[in-house]
Amino acid sequence: MVEALIRRFTPGLHHLQIKTASQKTPGGASHTHFSLVPGHGKHILRFKNAFIAVDRQREGKSFDAQGQPFETIKLTTLYAHRHIFEDMFSEAHSLSMQSIEGKTMVYTLRNMTWMPLGDAKRKRPFDSVVLEEGMAEMIRDDVREFLNARTWYLDRGIPYRRGYLLHGPPGTGKTSFVQALAGELDFNIAMLSLSQRGLTDDLLNQLMLNLPPRTFVLLEDADAAFNNRRQRDEDGFSGATVTFSGLLNALDGVASAEERIAFMTTNHIERLDDALIRPGRVDMTLRLGEATLWQMEQMWDRFYAHQDPDGSKRTLFIERVEQYGLVNSVSTAALQGLFLYNKDDPDGAVNMVGQLLMAKTPTMEVPKKN
């Protein structure tokens, strides 16, 4: 909001500061944006019909969690104009809300704390992730029901938490679904891989206790903690990775009145321990598997509805897919790859179905550990 307030002032002939915003794309390219904002020091500015004395000062060398320096902005105006502050703050507030409205903020671990990963991202549409028929809606309704049951939990002294375990082979939409669900329910995401180096039990615990508001926590590679069953050493040091007991402690940490919704993902459910599947830790376990016939049809329609209005090419595609024995044996990511390669070209996708054979996953089920 302070950012929005600073931008609201029209800089006159005062000290200006150049604000640089750099953004790096995953491909390595970087975009830089410059803007002029009033610098530190004293300014006289006009807002509506009032003159305001502005004193913008930096507080020592302290930085907030986002790496921005702490600042104090003192605004002074005539007593008769004091009401304009209300207008000014509500305008600044709506400016700052506009910049994140319709977007999802993703937080990751940096400098031992949650930090936004770049700017807020455009929401991922809920139906852009195609899970097995009815599964996405079922999870969404469960989260909604949980969000509506706050007083029920608090009245009964039950920690207000819900956990979901999404498991299945790579590229079946586990991460993407959590992003789409966050968009649908106006949540942000704090994501973390449990196999990340340097993530200790204590740090994980601290992070779980300090989640930004209205944020899903997404713990990826949950099985990593189960590979590392080492308990704390005598001196209390638990090593540079998260342990099994560390994960359980972090999930069970001190409850607050705010909801905590955790999604855990794994490609190896057989490595997990039953102690994880306990209410509040994991309330719902869902398998996201290879693309079913229904998912294939849905994804086809999402890509080619315009080029194939009567669905005849889709029928051809499905026939081919069945001939090659690809139903329930290729990931939705592989299917998406084929459709992206043949963007706006359904015939190309039909002709290239055979390429999916390379992405076929062996269907060997590993027995679950007791």
Residues lying near ligand ATP in the complex (CB under 6 A) are found at 129-131, 170-176, 265, 267, 332-333, 336
Can you tell me the distance from the alpha carbon of 172 to that of 132, in angstroms, rounded to the nearest whole number?
Answer: 10
Instruction: Provide the minimum distance between the beta carbon of 210 and ligand ATP in the complex, in angstroms, as a whole number.
Output: 25
How many of the other CB atoms lie within 10 Å of CB of 197? 7
Complex with ligand ATP: residue 130 or 242, whichever CB lies closer: 130
- Shortest Å distance, C-beta 332 to ligand ATP: 3
**161: Cβ–Cβ under 8 A, 6 or more apart, which residues?**
251, 255, 259, 260, 261, 262, 280
Nearer to ligand ATP, 178 or 261 (CB): 178
Q: Is the dihedral of CA 168, 173, 176, 179 positive or negative?
A: negative
Residue 37, H or E segment: strand 30-38
Q: Which residue is nearest to ligand ATP (CB)?
A: 173
Q: Cβ closer to ligand ATP: 176 or 215?
A: 176
Burial bucket for residue 151 (CB in 10 Å: 0-12, 13-18, 19+): exposed
* Cα–Cα dist 236/230, whole Å: 12
CB of residue 31 to ligand ATP, shortest distance in Å:
22
Q: What count of residues does the chain have?
A: 370
Torsion sign over Cα 210, 119, 23, 338: positive
**Residue 116 or 171: which CB sits closer to ligand ATP?**
171
Residue 111 CB, shortest distance to ligand ATP, in Å, is: 25
Shortest distance, CB of residue 333 to ligand ATP, whole angstroms? Answer: 3
Minimum gap (Å) between residue 193 Cβ and ligand ATP:
9
Q: Which is nearer to ligand ATP, 89 or 294 (CB)?
A: 294
Q: Which is nearer to ligand ATP, 115 or 333 (CB)?
A: 333
